[in-house]
Structure 1
Amino acid sequence: MFAEYVVRRRMRRFLDSFEHKDFDQLSQAWAQDVIVEFPEGLPMAGAWHGKEEVRRLFESVFAYNRRFAFTVHHIAVSGAWSPMGRSTVLTEWQAEEERMDGHMLKVRVVSVAESRRWRVVRTRDYFSDVPAMAAHYEHIELPSRTSRSLRDGGSL
């Protein structure tokens, strides 16, 4: 129970940072070598490696959207009391995103976050409606990346 409470607070802080477009606060949860992955079918599909590459991605996402609102529904934690800070957190949440042109997206998300030394080293997001998510982001200008996207033969 206490572990879930702590994780829920950390997740809320993380999502608050996202809602406020505060990458510096957002990135405090991540290891330097973090990997952020998105599923096939999205403009940002594949893996984004390292804080700097992820920063450029989220700067594009922040510039593309006017506002974000997130609601956490469920959290499950495995390894919460690991002495090495290794854990896996599954979070089910709802995202509401408004593009600069007023287009609204509402989508359910399940995130899987793996931690090492109490920092997220890898996260994967799964969306309930990939086509709606893809349509919302169809005109986003994404930064270049060193990792390969799924379209270029990369994998999750």
Structure 2
Amino acid sequence: MIGAIIAQQKTREKFAARNRGDIDAFLDNWAENATFIFPGQSEMSGIFHGMSEIRPWFKQFRQQFPQVNFEIKQIFVGRIWAIGATNELAVQWNTTLWNRDNQKMQGEGVTIVHLQKGQLVLAHEFIFDLSPSFFQANQPAAH
């Protein structure tokens, strides 16, 4: 149970860093060879392998959406009794984002996280608002 409490607290800290735009703090426990999966058919969608692809993705996301707010609804821990640093988590969230053109986008989703030896090795996001407004706001700003 202590492991679950620690995992939940760390997850809240990571999402707070993501909201602040502190990419370094958000990614500081990601494994060098981690995988990140972002859904959909936008320019941001895809499977990104290793920090050489993941870090630029989050920087680009922050440039596209200078103001973000992820509100955690629930955190599910796969093995609540695990004290070790290997576990799975599901984070259910609501988000409000504003792109560079000040278009507001809202959505909800789940991020599935796999941790091994204290490092994040896989993060897979699922977004449940796939309306046309989501895709329009997710395109690069016109300048």
Alignment of 1:1-150 (within 5 A): 1-80=1-80, 81=82, 83=84, 85-131=85-131, 132-139=133-140
Distance 1:76 1:66 in 2: 28
| Unaligned runs of at least 5 residues, structure 1 | 142-156
Question: How many residues in Structure 1 have an aligned counterpart in Structure 2?
Answer: 140
Q: Deviations over 1:88-137 (max 9, x none)?
A: 10010111111121111111111100111111100111111123432211
Identity of aligned residues (%): 16
Structure 2: gaps spanning 5 or more residues: none
Root-mean-square deviation over aligned CA pairs: 1.9
Relative to structure 1, the CA distance from residue 54 to residue 140 in structure 2 (aligned partners, 3 Å threshold; closer, same or farther) is farther
Runs of 4+ in 1 over 6 A off after TM superposition: none
**Counterpart amino acid of residue 11 in structure 1:** T
Is the CA contact (8 Å cut-off) linking 1:88 and 1:112 kept in structure 2?
A: yes
Within 2, Cα distance between the matches of 1:39 and 1:54? 14
How far apart, in 2, do the equivalents of 1:73 and 1:4 lie?
16
